A and B are shown apart, each in its own frame.
Chain A
Amino acid sequence: SQTIHQWPATLVQPVGSPLSLECTVEGTSNPNLYWYRQAAGRGLQLLFYSVGIGQISSEVPQNLSASRPQDRQFILSSKKLLLSDSGFYLCAWAGGGGTDTQYFGPGTRLTVL
């Protein structure tokens, strides 16, 4: 069966520090991968999605970047965090080839102070 891992679960970082959040998927090949951010009381904002290794689409201009160095690994990064980067970050995967149902990781709660 497929599983998705995300770490760390919580993170407190000072403004201006770098960020690296990692997401890995097991039990499937060539998944679509997604990074979302969720503000308190809000829905999910799509940040990046990837349909294959090295293929990243950015949905909103921001202080973040994403990379997919391996088929089942998706990384969210920042060189210098802003206060506005605080939030709940969720990674998700979906089967490639047009499957819309997404399966989410446990999320990372990021607080930038």
Chain B
Amino acid sequence: EDKVVQSPLSLVVHEGDTVTLNCSYEVTNFRSLLWYKQEKKAPTFLFMLTSSGIEKKSGRLSSILDKKELFSILNITATQTGDSAIYLCARGTNAGKSTFGDGTTLTVKP
């Protein structure tokens, strides 16, 4: 089964905190692991990971993939209220499709 499991499902933190979001996936036809941020409507792309152990970074956000243990994490340091969103993890396959997890809803309080 093409499963992507994200944890936690929701998280409430205060500004300045650091958060770690988790994503585990099934290995069948795996090609890439993608992270998206969904604020109000359309998800927007954050990272695509294909190789183990190589961290991708964009400002306060970073992500890494472990292909042996079949998981990825998304870190956000010094959180701001603008980071409040649903963070979606997706597994890209050789067929060009993506399977999405249920997302982690992050709420950052001032």
Contacts and interface: CB of A to CB of B under 8 A. Distances in A.
Interface of A: 32, 34, 36, 41-46, 49, 51, 59, 90, 94, 98, 100-107
Interface string B76-109: 0000000000001010100011111111010000
Contacts of B88: 43-44
Contacts of A49: 96-97
Given A43-B88, A44-B88, A103 B45 contact: yes
Given A44-B88, A49-B96, A94-B96, A102 B45 contact: yes
Q: How large is the interface on B (under 10, 10 to 19, 20 to 34, 35 or more residues)?
A: 20 to 34
Contacts, number: 55
A10 to B, nearest CB: 11
A42 B96 contact: no
B31 interface: yes
Contact of B42 (A41, A94, A100, A107): A107
Interface string B29-59: 0011010000001111100100000000000
B42 A102 contact: no
Given A43-B88, A44-B88, A107-B41, A100 B100 contact: no
The 6 closest A-B CB pairs, nearest first, are A100-B92, A104-B42, A43-B100, A44-B100, A43-B102, A100-B32
Given A44-B88, A90-B42, A105-B42, A100 B102 contact: no
